[in-house]
Amino acid sequence: MKIVIIGGTGLIGSQLVNILAQQQHEVIAASPNTGVNTLTGEGLEEVLKTANVVVDVSNSPSFADEPVMNFFKVSNENLMRAEKAAGVQHHIALSVVGTEKMQDGGYFRAKLVQENLIKASGIPFTIVHATQFFEFAGGIVAMSTSDDGKVRLSDALIQPIASKDVAAFLAKIATESPKNKMVEIGGPEQFRLDEWIKIYQQGTKKTLEVITDANATYSGVTLHKTTLTPENPVYLGESEYVDWISKPENQR
């Protein structure tokens, strides 16, 4: 089976390429640095020739409202057009748990546009909503640190998942029939967002003060208790966060 991974050199994509290659599939890592650019359309026609499955794990280089909307809208218009011409039989896209609940945020508005383009394309599809990755904790600290150097976070629940578990699930989906719907995945444990980041801080020996603030926003969105947790997960990752963060290679 020929499987093209859009964003195949990134965090999820590179792991997914390795898993599928070990299963003896013909796997192509497609990204701008391999000559494939969904935003401009460069290389799409050639890379999709004879492709059976496309897995899109790409992300916008900018999360500002206008660039991120442009990225997901234009990239997916180009990708859907090229896939239809190539006769792709299954399109898989990685998205975010709670996307439809977080439409106050520009990033999530753009992700919903992406999902709607996929659903309207006529190409058999599976949309995978994943919770935040373990590897995102440092980025959450950065975006939640105020001018006084304190990290302000909601006490809403979060159910983070290891990126390797996301990649393993996507590899499974890539070899199955299209679901033609959205499915949710998450990690094995729920934490309060502020408590999760405190565990991250302890594990990485960082000393920024974490302030619990029910009104603190997440990527511009006010969270409710379960905004970031899956409602009906079809898969829960095997990796537990405390074990994961205890490994030196993950303490970044």
Residues contacting 144, CB < 8 A, separation 6+: 151, 152, 153, 197, 216, 218
- Domains of the chain, CATH where assigned: 2-250 (3.40.50.720)
pLDDT digit string, tens, across residues 54-86: 999 999 999 899 999 999 999 999 999 999 999
Contact 99, 112 (CB under 8 A): yes
Q: Using CA atoms, how far apart are residues 153 and 80, in angstroms rounded to an integer?
A: 38
Contact 209, 171 (CB under 8 A): no
Tokens for 35?
Answer: 């000559």
Q: What is the mean pLDDT of residues 170-184?
A: 98
Q: What is the pLDDT of residue 252?
A: 76
Produce one character per residue of 62-75: b if its CB has 16 or more CB atoms within 10 Å, e if not: ebeeeebbebbbeb
pLDDT reading at 196 higher than 80: yes
Is the overall model pTM greater than 0.75, yes or no?
Answer: yes
Q: Using CA atoms, how far apart are residues 160 and 191, in angstroms rounded to an integer?
A: 8
pLDDT digit string, tens, across residues 96-116: 999 999 999 999 999 999 999
Of 201, 183, 195, the residue nearest 129 (C-alpha): 183
Tokens for 219?
Answer: 């990527």
Q: What is the pLDDT of residue 251?
A: 85
Q: Using CA atoms, how far apart are residues 196 and 113, in angstroms rounded to an integer?
A: 30
pLDDT reading at 18 higher than 80: yes
With cut-offs at 50, 70 and 90, classify the pLDDT of residue 29.
very high
The stretches of the chain forming alpha helices (DSSP H) are: 11-22, 44-47, 65-86, 106-120, 137-144, 163-174, 193-204, 241-245
- What phi-psi label fits residue 107: left (phi over 0), alpha (psi between -120 and 50 degrees) or beta? alpha
